[in-house]
Amino acid sequence: MDNSRQTNRGTSLSRRTFIGRSASLAAGMAVVSAGPAIAQAAGSASEKLGVGIIGCGGRGMGHMGTWKWLGENGGNVEVVAVCDVYRPRLDRAAQAAANAKKYMDYRELLADPNVDMVSITTPDHHHGQQAIDAMRAGKDVYCEKPLTHWSQFEVAREIARTARETGRVFQLGTQGMSDPAWWQMKTLVQEGLIGQPLHAECGIFRVGDWGERGMPVDDPNAKPGPDLNWDAFLGDRPKRDFDVSRFFRWRMYEDYAGGPSTDLYPHSYTPVTTMLDLKAPAYAVGTGGIYRYSLSETQKENPDEKVEREVPDTFNMLVDYPGGITCALLGTQGNGFQGTGARGSGAKVPVLRGWEGSLTIQGNEIVFEPSDSTNKEAQRYPIQGEENMGEYFRKFVECVRAGNPDTQSPAERAYHTQTALIMGYLALREGKTVRFDPEKENLII
């Protein structure tokens, strides 16, 4: 850990950062791999990097496990700080990381000089502000998806700006981007195999609202006080009296979550926006609703159940981009049939269509089908690996050491992808087409 490191990169570059950035510039010119440029800074791997985990629930403990694995497998990282607004979870996390300091306020964790980078694993509505504050405090950021809550377009935009301004390394928790399939397909698209991109489809089909109603309620009698900071949980959300269901099962409520659009589609759509290099959309429409986990359906299973779910279980959107590319995101949590098959974390395999042919995946092969109007031939390409969570973390750390912001799911890409997802969700909610104003960089509803 670099204890002497200043918290504002704008005024001071640490030695590690300076060496990393120089090496990154030099190496970037020679990189020809299918993935983003990963530059190694000579000697910098000998410095142990300190990790702070903000949010120690299910995902935070998952990050804990992966950071530990990486520490034991050559990553030279250690969890040195943990933060949660609920003390039992904070204590559990501290037990799992012997040398970790405990914080109940993430801003105090960000002021800890032993923390070089943070895992942000809080509920969706906190990701944006915590990521911005972390980058401004001189920390590199691994932030769980979604980039922001669906109501926080301006925050998403600010994250991209902050990453640009501070030069901090940012990676979104779309671990499926570690799958070499997407980088191989991106190269094929860049080489012109499908011609001008025209159309893409992707999505996620699965059964169960375990992500919402099924979230664990650790203590039904929990109350706000010194061991549970309800105001800190709410953050910038509407103020309301404490509600144990909202605290533990926040995924059900629109104030904190958005259902498939924000919980699931970052996984399926980030590969598509990456392969087609999509920036800001032109407009989006959305359809869907609570079609399966409605009160009547749920009461068939449990007559005493009180359904509070506010977020859709079924959500589809169409989004068009300037220049004539249209994308369809389809899915429901009421039926798990994937049609053409699933890949990695269960996302339906995408189909990319261009003027001269289409790309998709069958089994462990990328499949190219030419269109009628071209004399290209059908092709199959073996996929050179699969999604790997540990390696996704390792690549992030390599980028941190090199000062290379070009992670496998960087801030700018996350911003553009999240903008489309926000537009789709707002379109469904408002029953309108939502447009993007490229001059003002704003949404028009």
Binding residues vs ligand NAD (CB under 6 A): 54-60, 83-86, 89, 106, 121-124, 126, 144-145, 173, 175, 232-233, 235, 263
Which residue's Cβ has the minimum distance to ligand NAD? 57
By beta-carbon proximity to ligand NAD, the closer residue of 57 and 350 is 57
CA distance 399 to 30: 16
Rounded to the nearest 10°, the torsion over CA 15, 18, 21, 26 is -100
CA distance 48 to 53: 16
By beta-carbon proximity to ligand NAD, the closer residue of 269 and 321 is 269
CA distance 423 to 138: 31
Left, alpha or beta for 154 (phi > 0: left; psi -120 to 50: alpha)? alpha
Cα–Cα distances in Å, from 56 out to 53, 97, 99, 413, 433? 7, 12, 16, 26, 38
State the nearest-atom distance from the C-beta of 118 to ligand NAD, in Å. Answer: 11
By beta-carbon proximity to ligand NAD, the closer residue of 175 and 333 is 175
144 within 8 A of 78, measured Cβ to Cβ: no
State the nearest-atom distance from the C-beta of 130 to ligand NAD, in Å. Answer: 7
By beta-carbon proximity to ligand NAD, the closer residue of 119 and 316 is 119
State the nearest-atom distance from the C-beta of 296 to ligand NAD, in Å. Answer: 27
By beta-carbon proximity to ligand NAD, the closer residue of 84 and 112 is 84
Left, alpha or beta for 343 (phi > 0: left; psi -120 to 50: alpha)? beta
439: Cβ contacts below 8 Å, ≥ 6 apart: none
- DSSP of 196-216, one letter per residue? SEEEEEEEEE-B--TTTTTS-
Nearest C-alpha neighbor of 257 from the set 294, 329, 203, 311:
311
State the nearest-atom distance from the C-beta of 193 to ligand NAD, in Å. Answer: 30
Q: How far is CA 11 from the centre of its chain?
A: 29
State the nearest-atom distance from the C-beta of 215 to ligand NAD, in Å. Answer: 6
By beta-carbon proximity to ligand NAD, the closer residue of 133 and 140 is 133
442: Cβ contacts below 8 Å, ≥ 6 apart: 436
State the nearest-atom distance from the C-beta of 128 to ligand NAD, in Å. Answer: 11
By beta-carbon proximity to ligand NAD, the closer residue of 17 and 175 is 175
State the nearest-atom distance from the C-beta of 109 to ligand NAD, in Å. Answer: 9
State the nearest-atom distance from the C-beta of 377 to ligand NAD, in Å. Answer: 38
CA distance 337 to 436: 33
By beta-carbon proximity to ligand NAD, the closer residue of 106 and 381 is 106
